[in-house]
Amino acid sequence: MTTKSAPAANGAAAGAGGGKRRRGGRGWYAAAGALLVALLAVAVSSRSFLGTPSSSQGGCGCPAARKYTGMVEDCCCDYETVDSINEEVLHPILQDLVKLPFFRYFKVKLWCDCPFWPDDGMCRLRDCSVCECPENEFPEPFKNPYSGLSPDSMICQEGKPQAAVDKTLDSKVFKGWVETDNPWTSDDETDNNEMTYVNLQLNPERYTGYTGDSARRIWDSIYKENCPKYPSEELCHEKKALYKLISGLHSSISVHIAYDYLLDESTNSWGQNLPLLYDRVLKYPERVQNLYFTYLFVLGAVTKAADYLEQAEYNTGNPEDDLKTQSLVKQLLYHPKLRSACPKPFDEAKLWQGENGPELKQEIQKQFRNISATMDCVGCEKCRLWGKLQVLGLGTALKILFSVDGDYHLNQPLQLQRNEVIALFNLLNRLSESVKFVHEKGSSIEEVIKEQRPPTVEKSASKPNLKLDFL
């Protein structure tokens, strides 16, 4: 996220005026009542970080409503429902799910040359390094070759125009994990010789000290070259969606930096850096809105692929863990509260309309592949790991929602790699954690900052505020 976004106002301003005070009578009581109402309005607005700016006040001069309320822009669910469903259903299930062996191990290519510029970035903490898995640790079935769909077994769905989005998936499509590259991402997912497995539980996403010009160049490349924020009148829905997805992912990464931050390097003290959370995310309403958008976009992909994901094989060689994984996946996909409150988080059919749909899709697909390739330029191992995982997860969501490709594999049934599903659910969990943390801290963050900003934390937080961290 660039630093040019307009900061949010901290609440609606309120004021009161009055004439001369009368002694006794209704006029005095009316004036006193008006003053009391005005003072209460000031108190409420000063305590509500999520209040709208004064320019958004109604014509009567009353303070506007809470900022994050109503429908999430371009989605089919409102903020209150997202917060409720996330806290009650999604977050608890996802937290258990990603700890299980199937979702714990991610296959990644960590050593790659940057295709765009010499890799000169370094991070200064030992927490940058990644602990790779020895071969005897990750599940035995992960080592076996894929046994998936052959070209002859693919059944085309008739009657779909070229630019249309396939809104349905063949419920019997899963016949084993496949080995095929994702058209939305740049990594050669079939090149197993250069890939290694990483235990995500031993390599958490957190602050690493990877800052400065190298980290800034990553985000500058992503935003300026591949995902620019065009003037609103020139922004089509598809390009706007791409920008919001990257912005939402960036916001989520910033939230995790603030959530697990090195407060004092001399004592190796880690904790929450709430001033950083405010400065990087909560201060800018657009960034929070885009976080919710990205969360619902990915959730929409998982919801669309529910039948496929229900039938998928979560085999790690441990029957007890595998059964639990299958059970939790089904709970998440078909939970009655999720199905009733937010049955379709994102409506993908609104995109790629018109005669330019296929060309526009190819353009944005190319931009996202460039963003994916940019992850090879990240100069911090752990940042590269989580960058690649989350971009692959987002690319998998794009693949599910827009499974009709303009030039290749027209109307074929959905095919996913095991690694794509691992990335998809881990990304959904990361976004779920970010939404929960923002919801919990957002409304009272200013008061918390005033109470919890001692000199030690302020000193450690001041440096990153001047730079653009990756992790």
Please report, as a single letter, which amino acid is at residue 133: C
- Among residues 213, 6, 4, 224, the alpha carbon closest in space to that of 122 is found at 213
Tell me if 453 is assigned to a ligand binding site. Answer: no
Alpha-carbon distance 417 to 20, whole Å? 76
**C-alpha pair distances (Å), 75 with each of 25, 95, 255, 436:** 54, 24, 22, 18
Tell me if 409 is assigned to a ligand binding site. Answer: no
**229 close to 378: Cβ distance less than 8 angstroms:** no
Tell me if 256 is assigned to a ligand binding site. Answer: no
Question: Which residue bears the tokens 């020139």?
Answer: 234
Q: Burial letters for 21-42: b for 16+ Cβ neighbours within 10 Å, e otherwise?
A: eeeeeeeeeebeeeeeebeebb
Alpha-carbon distance 143 to 139, whole Å? 7
Q: Is residue 75 annotated as a catalytic residue, yes or no?
A: no
Q: Which residues contact 467 (CB under 8 A, 6 or more apart)?
A: 211, 212, 215, 216
Q: Provide the token pair at 218.
A: 């990553």
Tally of CB atoms within 10 A around 201: 12
196 forms bridges with which residues in the sheet?
Answer: 108
From the list 75, 77, 342, 380, the catalytic residue is: 380
Q: Is residue 383 annotated as a catalytic residue, yes or no?
A: yes
> HSE (CB half, 13 Å, CA atoms) of 40?
7
Tell me if 237 is assigned to a ligand binding site. Answer: no
Tell me if 208 is assigned to a ligand binding site. Answer: yes
Burial of 435 (0-12, 13-18, 19+ CB in 10 A): buried
List residues with catalytic annotation: 380, 383
Residue ranges of the annotated binding site are: 206, 208, 219, 247, 250, 280
Residue ranges of the annotated binding site for FAD are: 206, 208, 219, 247, 250, 280
